A and B are shown apart, each in its own frame.
Chain A
Amino acid sequence: MDVLDVLANSPPDNPAWGLRLCQVTGHGTGTIYPALDRLLKAGLINDYWEDPQPADRPRRRFYEITSTGRERYTAALRTRDERRAAWLRPSPQPGTSL
């Protein structure tokens, strides 16, 4: 969810890549890369290589969210918000009528 959060909010001119995802989410490389692999397999995100290759540094692999991924992300976000709202709703005090 954290990864999708970052990918959904990344601007197209500055796409997310491994290091940025680690920095923004606060998760380690051992968590981020397997998560990206799973999301790629599920078809929720796409990957592409930096083009053209920069001369002064290694080429980066960028990730972007697909339309399916965005739909699933929005749905998951809605569900999470509903669940959170239900959890945070004050419970009725004993003795008060419903």
Chain B
Amino acid sequence: MNTGQPGEEQPKRVFFNLPHRWLPALSPEGGRLLRLNADDAMEKILASFRQNSESSPDAGVDAALVDDDGTISLFQVKYHALKRKPKARGRIFKLVCILVALGTTNTIAALLHLSWLLNPLLLLETLATIIMPLVTFWQTLPLRSTLARLSFARLSVDSLTSFAALLAGRRRLALRQEWIAHLAGESGHDPATWQKVKQAFGFLVSAIRYRCTDAADAAWTPVDTILRSRTLSNLSVLVPTTAAGCLVLRHEGALGVVTSAESIVAIAAALYGLIRTGRWWRNVKPPEPKAQRAKK
């Protein structure tokens, strides 16, 4: 690889999308690069390659820094998506070898009438016959790379965030975008980890709490309406008190009303106290009485 020093003129920079998890391998300090397209991050990558003067295929990252007349004209970072291919081929070859060896041993055992060896060999052969097509299928199909990319953590994070946003309701549509930005992290390209899954669970808890708050608000609405209105507040004191008075009058007569007067007054006082406490608790103020408004 050609790793020339930068010249006088401004180098032409080409940016590529690179999974964030591969970036620490490029950073000379071993720290995290916060933004891929930031100039300082670019400088760090360039400095790293100038220092190491070679690519790092072991880390799954390759790089080409082309020096054109003493000027950095191209910088390229690419990820080897197919780096596991030779390993896959080796695995399939090993399995075929095992299958052939088992078959040969089985035939020899049958010819030599070694019954104690035949049964376990048959079992092993059956197992290998089942495993081999599965491994071949997994290693060769493009589906494998797709599934590998869509890790369980990624799926969980996405589905949990979407579900939480759905649960939070139509009034809070912006939350989905906010949460996606949260999961993207400071860099904006954070990979999906179990830590992120935990955060996504937190979003779910948030959504449930939002809904509980909404339900509580909805439940308080009729109470607030009564507390805010003077007429309704007066009615909610007067109606039960009058009803209690009428009930006593019907069953025990006028004398009963006189004897139970303190109980009837107690009902009225309790309801009035409840209204006042409710207004204080909910921080609700009724409109001023008409007489006072007229004076003002």
Contacts and interface: CB of A to CB of B under 8 A. Distances in A.
Interface of A: 17-19, 22, 28-31, 33-34, 37-38, 49, 54-61
Contacts of B184: 57-58
B178 A18 contact: yes
A58 B202 contact: no
Interface of B: 35-37, 174-175, 177-182, 184-189, 198-199, 201-206, 209-210, 213
A31 B189 CA distance: 24
Contacts of B186: 19
B83 to A, nearest CB: 25
A30 to B, nearest CB: 3
A43 B16 CA distance: 43
Q: Closest 8 interchain pairs by CB?
A: A57-B188, A29-B202, A30-B205, A30-B202, A58-B181, A33-B206, A34-B209, A61-B178
B210 A56 contact: no
Given A28-B199, A61-B174, A34 B181 contact: no
A30 B174 contact: no
12 contacts: A19-B186, A30-B205, A30-B206, A33-B203, A33-B206, A37-B213, A54-B188, A55-B37, A57-B181, A57-B189, A61-B178, A61-B181
A56 B201 CA distance: 25
A60 to B, nearest CB: 5
Given A58-B177, A61-B174, A34 B188 contact: no
B33 to A, nearest CB: 12
Given A28-B199, A54-B188, A58-B181, 14 more contacts: A19-B181, A19-B185, A29-B205, A30-B206, A31-B202, A33-B206, A34-B206, A34-B209, A37-B213, A56-B189, A58-B177, A58-B180, A60-B181, A61-B181
A47 to B, nearest CB: 9
A18 B202 contact: no
Contact of B206 (A29, A58, A59): A29
A60 B186 CA distance: 10
B201 A30 contact: yes
